[in-house]
Amino acid sequence: MIIIMKTDASKIDIEKLKSKLEGLGFRVNESGENRCVLGLIGDTASINIGQIEANIAVDRVMRVTDPFKRANRLFHADNTIVDVSGNLIGGKKIVLMAGPCSVESEEQILTIAEAVKKSGATFLRGGAFKPRTSPYSFQGLKGEGIRLLKLAREKTGLPIVSEIMSTELVEKVAEDVDILQIGARNMQNYELLKEVGKTRRPVLLKRGLSATIEEFLMSAEYIMSEGNENVILCERGIRTFEPYTRNTLDISVIPAIKRLSHLPIIIDPSHAAGKWWMVEALSKAAVAAGADGLIIEVHNDPENAWSDGEESLKPEKFDALTKKLRQIAIIEDREI
Where does residue 23 rank: exposed (0-12), middle (13-18), buried (19+ CB within 10 A)? exposed
CA distance 200 to 206: 18
Looking at the structure, tell me whether residues 257 and 154 fall in a common domain: yes
| 67 inside domain | no
Looking at the structure, tell me whether residues 208 and 265 fall in a common domain: yes
> How much of the chain exceeds pLDDT 90, in percent?
80
Looking at the structure, tell me whether residues 266 and 218 fall in a common domain: yes
For residue 25, which phi and psi values (nearest 5 degrees)?
A: 100, 10
Q: Cα 30 vs. chain centroid, distance in angstroms? A: 22
Looking at the structure, tell me whether residues 40 and 123 fall in a common domain: no
Looking at the structure, tell me whether residues 207 and 266 fall in a common domain: yes
Residues 6+ apart with CB under 8 A from 39: 1, 2, 28, 29, 30, 31, 64, 69, 70, 72, 74, 75, 76
Looking at the structure, tell me whether residues 56 and 185 fall in a common domain: no
| 124 inside domain | yes
CA distance 301 to 44: 56
Looking at residue 38, which CATH number applies to its domain? 3.30.70.1140
Looking at the structure, tell me whether residues 123 and 14 fall in a common domain: no
Looking at residue 289, which CATH number applies to its domain? 3.20.20.70
| 76 inside domain | no
Please state whether the predicted TM-score (pTM) of the whole model is above 0.85: yes
Looking at the structure, tell me whether residues 103 and 58 fall in a common domain: no
Report yes or no: 148 and 184 within 8 Å, Cβ to Cβ: no
| 180 inside domain | yes
Query: Looking at the 3D structure of the chain, how many domains does it have?
Result: 2
| 221 inside domain | yes
| 71 inside domain | no
Q: Which of 14, 31, 62 is the last residue of a domain?
A: 62
Report yes or no: 268 and 234 within 8 Å, Cβ to Cβ: yes
Looking at the structure, tell me whether residues 14 and 135 fall in a common domain: no
CA distance 294 to 59: 40
Q: Which of 15, 32, 62 is the last residue of a domain?
A: 62
pLDDT in tens, 74-94: 888 899 999 999 999 999 999
Range of the domain at 6: 2-62
Looking at the structure, tell me whether residues 39 and 92 fall in a common domain: no
pLDDT in tens, 101-137: 999 999 999 999 999 999 999 999 999 986 667 776 7
Q: Which residues of the chain have pLDDT under 70?
A: 130-132, 136, 138-139
Residues 6+ apart with CB under 8 A from 146: 128, 162, 173, 176, 177
Looking at the structure, tell me whether residues 19 and 97 fall in a common domain: no
pLDDT in tens, 148-174: 999 999 999 999 999 999 999 999 999
CA distance 291 to 278: 17
Longest Cα separation, the chain: 69
| 33 inside domain | yes
Looking at the structure, tell me whether residues 138 and 207 fall in a common domain: yes
Q: Which of 62, 94, 111 is the last residue of a domain?
A: 62
Residue 47's pLDDT is 85
| 68 inside domain | no
Residues 6+ apart with CB under 8 A from 32: 76, 77, 78
CA distance 264 to 202: 12
